[in-house]
A and B are shown apart, each in its own frame.
Chain A
Amino acid sequence: MSAKAPLPRPGATLDITDAVCPLTFVKAKVALEDLEAGQVISIRLNDGEPAQNLPRSLKDEGHAVLGLTDNGDGTFALLVRKGPA
């Protein structure tokens, strides 16, 4: 990879900054279940455990993690494409 490719625009959003583990994962999983395979969602999550661990949990669930960007306010935006069912 020579340079950062532009990230796709999300078709859905979810805010889980009010949730704590393991609900962060549960909320993200439920939201992804409502999407069609290939759809992209942007998830707003807190720094710390959620930012450290949620990307991996969603990868293990078979989704494609596209990007994790710092919002600069103690939260992150995680961009995920729903994997094949």
Chain B
Amino acid sequence: MTTDYKALKDGGFMRQIQKDRFSLRLKVVGGHLSSGQLRAVSDAADRFGSGHVHLTSRQGLEIPFIALADIEAVKEYLAQHGVEAGVCGPRVRTVTACQGAGVCPSGCIDTMALARRISERYFGRVLPHKFKFGVTGCRNNCLKAEENDLGVKGGYAVRWLSGPCSLCGVCAKACREGAISVGEREVSLDARKCNHCGRCVKACPTEAWEGQSGFLVSFGGLFGNRIAQGRGLLGLLTDAEDVLRISDAALDFFDRHGRPGERFRTVVERVGWEGLAEAVGGRP
């Protein structure tokens, strides 16, 4: 029987330089694994691999040195412990995320919840080429949103409330964009300068800045053979449903216009940013 390398690759098994040895890529969402899953991965690496695990650059896990003969057995073993195989090839890859507002004091959005929804909706979907989603909780951008085909970054739509404000002056300094000035009687915001970082909300000692969570989406990031920063075409979206609707539109655009083996960015540049902007309801 000849080995169907493509089927193996589709199922997360990466061929190694060593004959008949494969590195099994696992499914991880937002870099989050339970301790029980990790124990199962650890045991699988001992039983079927060479006793080590590789951490990938995108929060993935791989178990290298799995023999061709063990491929079904390792998958079954892992599945019993709630660990699934990942994917390779031309499809939606691991959805990455920082810990976000659930853990990090700077977080503006629940990154894990969004990453899970994105993964449930798209993980493994076949497209003209690979497609990466990444979700970062705030402007600090620990997860590097703009290097993904579709990146999401948390932010706040901010509003000053005169009632609780003590005119202490802290927010004007905390804002790195120079968008806030504190006068003798009131605080003013230059909305054109505001980048939704949320620092005023987090710093204000009297909760006089109200922040509504929102999402900044970027399109067409690449960080491989070619390096290109994802571009924002929309303002701050305050509804997670809009992020999914826009992701649907972006993937459909890729499916419709992409040639096999062409990355999303290349397609957008060939068809035109206006085309994508129109598809997602934004401005180029």
List the interface of chain A (C-beta within 8 A of B). Answer: 1-5, 51-53, 55-56, 59-60, 64-70, 76
Contact = CB atoms under 8 A, between A and B. Distances in A.
Contacts of A70: 169
Contacts of A51: 173
A31 to B, nearest CB: 18
B230 to A, nearest CB: 27
A68 B165 contact: no
A67 B169 contact: yes
B202 to A, nearest CB: 6
Contacts of A59: 203-205
Given A1-B163, A68-B168, A69-B169, A55 B203 contact: yes
Contacts of B173: 51-52, 55, 68, 76
Nearest to A81: B205
B174 interface: yes
Interface string B86-107: 0000000000000000000100
A69 B170 CA distance: 9
Contacts of B174: 52-53, 55-56
Nearest 6 A/B pairs, CB to CB: A65-B205, A56-B203, A55-B170, A68-B169, A67-B168, A4-B167
Nearest to A70: B169
Contacts, number: 54
Given A1-B165, A3-B184, A60 B105 contact: yes
B133 to A, nearest CB: 31
Q: How large is the interface on B (under 10, 10 to 19, 20 to 34, 35 or more residues)?
A: 20 to 34
Contacts of A52: 173-174, 176, 199
Interface in B137-170: 162-170
A3 B184 CA distance: 6
Contact of B166 (A5, A53, A76): A5
B184 A4 contact: yes
Q: Which of B167, B184, B199 has most A Cβ within 10 Å?
A: B167
B226 interface: no
B254 to A, nearest CB: 40
Interface string B43-84: 000000000000000000000000000000000000000000
Contacts of B205: 55, 59, 64-66
A9 B199 CA distance: 28
A81 to B, nearest CB: 10
B19 interface: no
A2 B162 CA distance: 8
B170 A68 contact: yes
Contacts of A76: 173
Contacts of B170: 55-56, 65, 67-68
Contacts of B245: none
Nearest to A7: B168
